[in-house]
Amino acid sequence: PKTCPHGNPIPTHCGGIFEDETEPLTSLNQKEEGIIVKIAEEESDLLQYLAKLGLKPGTSIEVVEKAPFNGPITVKVDETDRALSPKVALIIKVKKTKRRG
């Protein structure tokens, strides 16, 4: 495999690391969509919490709202809205797919 279950790259036999180009979930604007590529921090409790919310590599998401003043970022996952703190959203790395009109 090229990545662990959380999307982080596994070094090749030569020690090289190949990573997809990603950006933090916090960089997406309202109505932008993306696919979760990896969870940058592999803290067990956090990974379990995100998995419970359906937020894992390969999952499509849409930013519903970004609250001002460092407030929560609301994302739609499988037709369900989930609110995330900016700190948590920062470690979710995504590949932007499109913007809805």
Q: Kindly state the tokens that stand for 36.
A: 């979760």
CB 70 within 8 A of CB 28: no
Angstrom distance (rounded) from CA 79 to CA 96: 18
Going residue by residue through the chain (101 aa), what tens digit of pLDDT does each one get? 665 555 555 555 666 555 568 899 999 999 999 999 989 887 889 999 999 999 999 999 999 999 999 999 999 999 999 999 999 999 999 999 976 55
Match 């959203």 to its residue by tokens: 89
Query: What is the C-alpha R_g of the chain?
Result: 14
DSSP state of 2: -
Q: Kindly state the tokens that stand for 27.
A: 């960089």
- The pTM (predicted TM-score) of the whole model is 0.79
